[in-house]
Amino acid sequence: MMNDAEEVELLYRYVDGDDALLHKILVSNPARLHGFP
């Protein structure tokens, strides 16, 4: 059964500890693409 927290933690593994990349994926790129302030 899917667990949402585990999916997020899987993303952490994909970026391999790169906090800047994680911020780009989760925060700055979505903000830019969707027009969030």
Partner 1 sequence: MKEKFPDWDRNTRPPVPLPPPGSCDCQVHVYGDQNKYPVRWNIQHEIPDGNFDDARRVLKILGFSRAVLVHPSVYDTDYSLLVDLLKEANDPTAYKGVVVVKDSVPDKQLEDLAALGVCGIRFHIAKRYEAYPKDAFLRTVDRARRLGWHIRLHLDGPDFLEYADVLETLETSTSSSTTWGASISRSALNNRRCSGCSRCLSDPIGG
**Token digits for 23?**
């911020």
Is residue 33 within the footprint of partner 1 (CB under 8 A)?
yes
Is residue 17 within the footprint of partner 1 (CB under 8 A)?
no
For the CB of residue 12, give the shortest distance to partner 1 in the complex, in Å.
Answer: 8
Query: How many residues are recorded in the chain?
Result: 37
Alpha carbon separation from 27 to 1, 2, 4, 10, 21 (Å, rounded): 27, 23, 18, 17, 10
For the CB of residue 16, give the shortest distance to partner 1 in the complex, in Å.
Answer: 10
Interface contacts to partner 1, rule CB under 8 A: 1-12, 14, 19, 21-27, 29-37
